[in-house]
Structure 1
Amino acid sequence: MQTMKAVRINECGSYEVLQYGDHPMPKFGEHDILVKVMSTAVSGWDIKYRNGDLLKKFEDKSLPGRKAYPLPQQPGREAAGEVIAIGSQVSQFSVGDRVLGLVHPEKPGDINAIRGLGNLSEGLDYPGHAMKGGNAQFIARPENYWMRIPDSVSYKDAAAGSWSYPTSHRIVVDRCSVKVGEYVFVTGASGGMGYATLQWAKLAGASVITTSRDADKRKVLLEQGADLVIDPNNPEQARNEIMEFTHQQGVEHAIEYTGNTTLQQLAYDVLRLGGNLCPVGGDVTSSGLPWGIMDLVAKEMTILGIRGSRLNDQRVYLEMLANGKISPAIATTLPLSEVQSAHKLVEEHKVVGKVMLDPWL
């Protein structure tokens, strides 16, 4: 085979910049493995890349240790598939292995990896950012960019949560250290990250409070284990409901995924003294938060940053999938050729769960 089907963008813009067509098969070197992609997806970061938000944010500088975002690009943070060829120096994988592409690979020997912060490794490229993503029939990457998929886990399930679940696991377990009996407030819980955070926090033994303006989504979140789901359209009423639910003490942890200033303020308002607030999502070109230094002093709160998952978070994700402890929500699966429709579903927030792409339909 000399060519494959793949999605490319040559410029930023609306859905029409996503071009599906024939492209040369990827080249692979002595340390690379060539993978037949069986399942890939659309993420919020793919949307930001396509519409130009990421390039606007990093046009003058990139994240520390990262290259700037290039064009043209092949999108797709997530990908799972079968190894069909290996380079001469590959030692960890064999042809026929079922593998998951690591959304946050680590660079062996990097000083940050040695410090236990492999997610901050410098001198490597993230798939779907500086390296070609998974929206293709075949991809080639170094062997340290992959992890084996347990036999009981499908390609689709492995790919569906490969970004959101490991990252949210790090937020819940490492950054917030959520404990049994605590209260966790999660905004944007109908999105991939929020939905995954809900599951991890419940597994940690916490009571979870979430938000949604949509009545149907509120029902789904309750069915998935949320202890309280509020409509944030009336912030004062929302605050009163949360404070009543937490016996007027507030929540130990507030994890904010939307970037909406009203919800950021609500997260602060319901945070108990000495609590943790982790602002994660929103417009990457925005800056500033709706509270100041004296607000932080008043609550002696801790602000937590997060920049991706570590290898162990990605390992735990696959182990918990195999054990049936977590289950990524999959809204629909479309052919890779319908990538424009898939982006529209994600960008317009029309579904709860992941929009998957099948390169072989």
Structure 2
Amino acid sequence: MRAYRISQANEKPKYLDIEPPKPGPGQLGVTIRCAGLNYADLLIQNGTYQDIPTAPFTLGMEIAGLVSAIGESVEGFSIGDRVAVFAGQGGLAEAGVFESARTVRIPDSMSFEEAAGFQIAYGTSHLALAHRANLRPGETLLVTGAAGGVGLTAVEIGKLMGARVIAHARGADKLAVAKAAGADHLIDDSEDLRARVLELGGADVVYDAVGGDAFRAAFRACNPEGRLICIGFASGDVPQIPANHLMVKNLTAIGLYIGGYFKFRAEVAQESLATLLRWYEEGRLKPHVSHVLPFDQIEQGMNLLRDRKSTGKVVIRIS
């Protein structure tokens, strides 16, 4: 089968023909229909991600497809089940083997394209806002990078949770996407972010996947007892937080890495995903996939993320 693999550290990924894997105990074999791309895929290739698999490995953190084989001691799945997996690796291939504990059945109404880009983006935002920051109805939520893969879901979930949402993004087209997802106020990247947020009454919760100047401006626009959630650093600039400012304004800085929950509190991530899938079935969530590309255009998809030319998710259709 074909797979998009990194053969050794510091080497660029290539399409290779490899033997199809067979599931062991606790694992499922899956015929992969679609795989979601994530900014973390770029960081893994650059060697700068916090959780890089040992080479050789196949890229692709999340997938959707059909169960093709069932390993020993696995219960609750049948051959042919439509499933999604947040695997961390192995997704950009025609087939894969994944832990059953990371696998969920998807609703019949959910397309493979939607399912392949659902778990990381929505899971990250729901865990960040509901579990970590305890976002409350009526509070003001500021989302930087609000048209990106995770940012757009933060806008949508924040609005669903009853917050007033301020979306910060680059350009009218991206801001329009954030508005369609529920944003109440829009701030272009060319504007003075701190001044505009303060004009709107300040932020109670900041959801930041950008870092750099955007984080620093958002930090200074927080209301007392504000919570700042660090999701990522797409700008490449990891900001330093002045602890004395945290103290004076009684602020809380919060880190969120969804992959970590599968290592130390998997039940939290699983409960969150169950809630999100229920919301999807109830029609309360509408995933936004801006690009669906064929298997031989993975690099084009990565460039869309690298150049910030996508909104929502970029998905690779494998078969």
User: What is the TM-score with the length of structure 2 in the denominator?
Assistant: 0.91
**Distance of 1:194 and 1:92 partners within structure 2:** 33
**Distance of 1:74 and 1:87 partners within structure 2:** 21
Indicate whether 1:127 and 2:82 are aligned. Answer: no
**Distance of 1:149 and 1:280 partners within structure 2:** 26
Q: Which amino acid aligns with 2:166?
A: I
Specify which of 65, 86, 103 is matched with residue 70 of structure 2: 86
Indicate whether 1:306 and 2:256 are aligned. Answer: yes
Q: Please state how far the C-alpha of 1:299 moved relative to its aligned partner.
A: 0.4
**Distance of 2:123 and 2:167 partners within structure 1:** 20
Q: Please state how far the C-alpha of 1:332 moved relative to its aligned partner.
A: 1.4
Q: Please state how far the C-alpha of 1:35 moved relative to its aligned partner.
A: 0.8
**Distance of 2:291 and 2:191 partners within structure 1:** 32
Q: Please state how far the C-alpha of 1:338 moved relative to its aligned partner.
A: 1.2
Counterparts of 1:174-213 in structure 2, within 5 Å, are: 174-213=131-170
**Distance of 2:170 and 2:304 partners within structure 1:** 17
Q: Please state how far the C-alpha of 1:83 moved relative to its aligned partner.
A: 0.8
1:265 is matched with which residue? Answer: 216
**Distance of 1:48 and 1:325 partners within structure 2:** 32
Q: Please state how far the C-alpha of 1:283 moved relative to its aligned partner.
A: 6.1
**Distance of 2:279 and 2:81 partners within structure 1:** 20
- Structure 1 residue runs of 5 or longer lacking an equivalent are 63-67, 104-125
2:45 is matched with which residue? Answer: 50
Q: Please state how far the C-alpha of 1:287 moved relative to its aligned partner.
A: 5.2
Q: Please state how far the C-alpha of 1:263 moved relative to its aligned partner.
A: 1.1
Indicate whether 1:255 and 2:212 are aligned. Answer: no
**Distance of 1:284 and 1:205 partners within structure 2:** 29
Deviations 1:59-110 (A, max 9, x none): xxx6xxxxx6312220111101111111232222111111111x2xxxxxxx
1:278 is matched with which residue? Answer: 229
Indicate whether 1:353 and 2:312 are aligned. Answer: yes
Q: Which amino acid aligns with 2:228?
A: L
Indicate whether 1:239 and 2:194 are aligned. Answer: yes
Contact 1:92 1:143 (8 Å CA) reproduced:
no
Contact 1:330 1:356 (8 Å CA) reproduced:
yes
Distance 1:27 1:194, change over 3 A: same
Q: Please state how far the C-alpha of 1:10 moved relative to its aligned partner.
A: 2.4
Contact 1:191 1:353 (8 Å CA) reproduced:
yes
Distance 1:350 1:13, change over 3 A: farther
Q: Which amino acid aligns with 1:227?
A: D
Q: Which amino acid aligns with 1:343?
A: M
1:24 is matched with which residue? Answer: 19
**Distance of 1:232 and 1:88 partners within structure 2:** 52
Contact 2:215 2:239 (8 Å CA) reproduced:
no
Q: Please state how far the C-alpha of 1:323 moved relative to its aligned partner.
A: 1.7
**Distance of 2:26 and 2:8 partners within structure 1:** 31
Indicate whether 1:96 and 2:80 are aligned. Answer: yes
Contact 1:53 1:284 (8 Å CA) reproduced:
no
Q: Which amino acid aligns with 1:254?
A: V
Indicate whether 1:7 and 2:16 are aligned. Answer: no
Contact 1:166 1:316 (8 Å CA) reproduced:
no
Counterparts of 1:156-167 in structure 2, within 5 Å, are: 156-167=113-124
Q: Which amino acid aligns with 1:305?
A: G
Counterparts of 1:293-332 in structure 2, within 5 Å, are: 293-308=243-258, 310-332=269-291
What is the DSSP-based 3-state SS (H/G/I as helix, E as strand, rest coil) of the residue aligned with 1:163? helix
What is the DSSP-based 3-state SS (H/G/I as helix, E as strand, rest coil) of the residue aligned with 1:304? strand
What is the DSSP-based 3-state SS (H/G/I as helix, E as strand, rest coil) of the residue aligned with 1:192? coil
Supply the RMSD in Å over aligned alpha carbons: 2.0
Report percent identity of matched pairs. 30
Q: Please state how far the C-alpha of 1:305 moved relative to its aligned partner.
A: 1.6
Deviations 1:193-222 (A, max 9, x none): 110100110001111011123222122222
**Distance of 1:220 and 1:91 partners within structure 2:** 41
Q: Please state how far the C-alpha of 1:191 moved relative to its aligned partner.
A: 0.9
2:265 is matched with which residue? Answer: none
Q: Please state how far the C-alpha of 1:279 moved relative to its aligned partner.
A: 1.8
Distance 1:356 1:30, change over 3 A: same
Greater per-residue strand proportion = 2
Contact 2:227 2:252 (8 Å CA) reproduced:
yes
Q: Which amino acid aligns with 2:273?
A: Q
Deviations 1:113-137 (A, max 9, x none): xxxxxxxxxxxxx522xxxx21111
1:65 is matched with which residue? Answer: none
What is the DSSP-based 3-state SS (H/G/I as helix, E as strand, rest coil) of the residue aligned with 1:324? coil
Computing the radius of gyration over CA atoms, which structure comes out larger, 1 or 2? 1
Structure number with higher relative contact order (C-alpha < 8 Å, ≥ 6 residues apart): 1
Indicate whether 1:72 and 2:67 are aligned. Answer: no
